[in-house]
Amino acid sequence: MSENQASLTAGGNSVDMPIKSGTIGPDVIDIRKLYGQTGMFTYDPGFTSTASCDSAITYIDGDEGVLLHRGYPIGQLAEHSSFMEVSYLLLNGELPSQQELADFTRTITRHTMLHEQLATFYRGFRRDAHPMAVMCGVVGALSAFYHDSTDIADPVHRKISSHRLIAKMPTIAAMAYKYSVGQPFIYPDNKLSYTGNFLKMTFGVPAEEYEVIPAVEKAMDRIFILHADHEQNASTSTVRLAGSSGANPFACIAAGIACLWGPAHGGANEAALNMLKEIGTPDRIQHYIDRAKDKNDPFRLMGFGHRVYKNYDPRATVMQQTVREVFDALKVNDPLFETALRLEEIALSDPYFAEKKLFPNVDFYSGIILSAIGFPTTMFTVLFALARTVGWVAQWNEMISDPGQKIGRPRQLYTGPTARDYVPLSDR
C-alpha cells in the first residue's frame, strides 16, 4: 500500500500519521499511535468515519451504488452465478473451476445433517417462539456438539467449522419453521441443490413427494447471493469483535445472528413487509411518508435508507426484478407489490428523501418475494442470517488468519462522576 502523511495538531502537539491506500476506495489515516503520542482518543460513535480492519472480500461504493464480491459486481453474480459458487468465491477469493465447485458443493451437501440430539433442543422452545430466537439458541449450541472443530488456531478446524456452519444453516432454519407450524422435521436430501434442499426441508411433508419449482429455486438462490456479504456491517463487525477474543466460530456466528435481528439491520425485511401491510393501499402512502418525515414521529420507512448507500442499493434493483419472476412462476400477484412500487415512486420524488439520499435497500422488496414463496414474515430475517453466514464466516476466517490481529477493545469519552467516597447505608 502506498504511504503518505496526515498531520494532526491537538493539545499543542502536532502528530504525523501515515495515510494508507487500498486497491480502490477511500484512503485511511492510521491513528494507531495517536493515543500514545497525544493522550487523546478519536471519537466516532456509530463508526461513521472509521475503518475497523483491512479486508479483501467485499467492496461497496455507496455514492455509486457499487457492490463487489472479490471484485465481481453483484449484478453479474446474481445473473450468472449460484449461491454455492459465490460462497466458494467469498471463502477462497477466486471463482472455482468446475471440479472445485463440484467438490465444494459435495462437501457442503454432506454436512447439512444436524446431530440428532439437536432436534430435542428445539423441543425446549415454545411453538410460538420467534424463529430468530430459536436460530440464535441452536447456532450457539452447535459448539456443544462439534467440539472437534473449535480450535481456531488450526486452519483445518476453521475450514471444517466454516463448512459445517454454511451447510447446517438451511437445516436449522427449516427446522425452526417446521417447529413453529407443528410439522415434522424433514431430513436433508443430498440429491438436491443447496437451495432446493432448503425448500424441500421447509415446505415438504412426509406424506407427499415435494417437487422443487425451478423458478422458485433460482429466485431463492439469487436472494441468498444478494444477502451473502456486505463489508463491515453491524452483524459482521459483531462476528469480528467476538472472534477477536478467540471465541469459537459457532459462538461468533450466534452473536452475528443476534445483531442481525435488529429492525435497523436484518430485521428490516420483516419490518418492511409489516409496514406495507399496515399501509395497505396506495392512497394511504402519503400519510406514512409524512410520518417518516416528522422529526417528532419515530416512524421510519422500513427498507429505506442505508449507512453506506447514498444511491440505489444495487441489491434492491435485482430484488425488484425478482419479484416479477416469482409472481410469473407462481402465477400469483400481491397488491402490496404495487403499493411498494408506488411508495418508492412517491418517496424518491420527495425532497426529504432526495436530500437525505434515502433509497430502497435490500430489505424493501425481499419480503414480498419471500411472502409469495410461502414464508411467514417471522422467517425473513432467518433467511437473511442463513445467507449471511457465508459472509460472516469468510470475514471471520480473514481476521483469524491475520497474524497481526488483536482483540477489539474500543475506548470511550467518560462523562460519569469523578472519584468519590462510599457513603454507608446508615448515612443515606
Q: By C-beta, is 10 or 264 nearer to ligand SDX?
A: 264
Q: CA-CA distance, 329 to 214, in Å (whole number)? A: 9
Q: Helices 155-181 and 194-203: crossing angle, nearest 10°?
A: 30
Q: CA-CA distance, 335 to 142, in Å (whole number)? A: 41
265 labelled catalytic? no
Q: By C-beta, is 166 or 289 nearer to ligand SDX?
A: 289
Q: CA-CA distance, 239 to 399, in Å (whole number)? A: 10
Cell numbers given for 270: 420483516
Q: By C-beta, is 189 or 350 nearer to ligand SDX?
A: 350
Q: CA-CA distance, 345 to 343, in Å (whole number)? A: 5
Q: CA-CA distance, 392 to 384, in Å (whole number)? A: 12
Catalytic member of 69, 163, 227, 306: 306
Question: Closest-CB residue for ligand SDX?
Answer: 305
Q: CA-CA distance, 58 to 69, in Å (whole number)? A: 5
Applying CB under 6 A, the residues found at the interface with ligand SDX are: 230, 233, 264-266, 268, 292, 300-308, 356, 358, 361-363
196 close to 82: Cβ distance less than 8 angstroms = no
Catalytic member of 221, 229, 313, 363: 363
Q: By C-beta, is 216 or 289 nearer to ligand SDX?
A: 289
408 close to 232: Cβ distance less than 8 angstroms = no
263 close to 302: Cβ distance less than 8 angstroms = yes
Q: By C-beta, is 90 or 118 nearer to ligand SDX?
A: 90
Q: How far is the CB of 54 from ligand SDX (least distance, A)?
A: 18
Identity of residue 239: V
Q: How far is the CB of 67 from ligand SDX (least distance, A)?
A: 9
E runs forming strands in 182-234: none
Q: How far is the CB of 304 from ligand SDX (least distance, A)?
A: 4
Q: How far is the CB of 100 from ligand SDX (least distance, A)?
A: 27
306 labelled catalytic? yes
Q: How far is the CB of 324 from ligand SDX (least distance, A)?
A: 22
Where in the sequence numbering do the catalytic residues fall?
A: 306, 363
